[in-house]
């Protein structure tokens, strides 16, 4: 017989301890892995949950949708407790604006060192877009009430044949004694 045995001997525990309760509690199942994968592909909690788990159909679709959403959030929170780094990788939670800026700056410096003008130009354009350098914003200080007062103010010229003592809305707002 060989020294390396293919089968474990009876009564000897294997080195990887398959029945360790601490490891078993944090083990991610195949369905949970599928759920995370589909969540990363679709971005929809409900769609990924419906694809992996069985869903009870209800006559009222709003109730069914609320139930599926709640169950999907339960699965996601359970996965966050088991393995937060895996959930962050699949849901792209670790990608923040600072992370993107740092990555583009690193790419820019590498392109500058290798004298690659096209990559350098592209990274500069991306940094400009991130910092909103190419957008024009016109800031106006006009109040909506000023515009509305001019539009809805009635004058005697609006009703030349009926000259009367009617009061426009701006006068009512400004005079507290009028009803």
Q: How many CA atoms lie within 13 A of 8 on its CB side?
A: 8
Residue 61 token pair: 């679709």
Per residue in 3-19, pLDDT tens? 565 666 777 776 767 67
CA distance 153 to 148: 8
Q: Are 171 and 155 in contact (CB under 8 A)?
A: no
Model confidence at 178: pLDDT above 60: no
Q: What is the mean pLDDT of the chain?
A: 78
CA distance 47 to 42: 8
Is the pLDDT at 35 greater than 80? The verdict is yes
User: Residue 57's Cα: distance from chain center in Å?
Assistant: 28
Predicted confidence at residue 123, as pLDDT, reads: 83
Does residue 129 or residue 174 have the better pLDDT? 129
Tokens encoding 100: 């993107």
**Global pTM value:** 0.48
* Domain regions of the chain by residue span: 21-91, 97-130, 144-174
Give me the pLDDT at residue 1, please.
47
More reliable by pLDDT, 50 or 2: 50
């Amino acid at each position: 017989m060989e020294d390396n045995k293919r089968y474990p001997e009876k009564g000897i525990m294997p080195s990887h301890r398959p029945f360790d309760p601490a490891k078993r509690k944090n083990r991610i199942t195949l369905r949970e892995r599928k759920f995370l994968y589909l969540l990363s592909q679709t971005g929809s909690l409900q769609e990924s949950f419906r694809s992996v788990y069985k869903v009870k159909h209800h006559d009222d679709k709003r109730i069914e949708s609320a139930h599926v959403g709640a169950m999907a959030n339960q699965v996601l929170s359970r996965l966050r407790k088991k393995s937060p780094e895996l959930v962050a990788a699949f849901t792209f939670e670790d990608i923040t604006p600072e992370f993107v800026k740092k990555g583009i700056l690193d790419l820019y410096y590498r392109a500058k060192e290798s004298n690659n003008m096209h990559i350098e130009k592209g990274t500069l354009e991306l940094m400009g877009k991130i910092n909103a350098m190419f957008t024009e914003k016109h800031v106006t200080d006009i109040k909506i009430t000023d515009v509305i007062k001019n539009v809805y103010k009635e004058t005697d010229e609006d009703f030349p044949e009926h000259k009367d003592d009617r009061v426009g809305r701006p006068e009512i707002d400004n005079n507290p004694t009028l009803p």
